Structure 1
């Protein structure tokens, strides 16, 4: 029987998260309360597993909106031509 600790279930402290997310300790505590971050409490100590960190990251990920084609149906002939060329340049449908 092996006496080594299984490192696949490593727990991280609040200090570890401050370094990982590059925010202050108070920000970690505030966001944990406001956003309901998953965590483990051991007495007065708070710990986060890799699964918790992945969930926190997913909760706060911002996906930029998809670029939409400009309308070529309205405006002057000049603005329609500009919109058409913009759409072609950016690989968008007219």
Structure 2
């Protein structure tokens, strides 16, 4: 393992990266029904807000809470963990 790979957290290492296919499979699961999820428009806005955040890594991982951004942004009960109120709130 290289020195740079050792300095990464476990979830940031290439062998642990979550793929788009895995995220799609998660979002297709029964827990992501309309009762638990925000509308497509709110989801799109949340993703855009996250992708412009300096704490968002590769548009997929939040470096503050470690969540998979496309999964957390879809859930009504989740809010942005950014200190000071976050970029979006739970519904």
TM-score between the two structures when normalised by the length of structure 2: 0.30
Q: Which has the higher strand share?
A: 1
Q: Which has the higher helix share?
A: 1
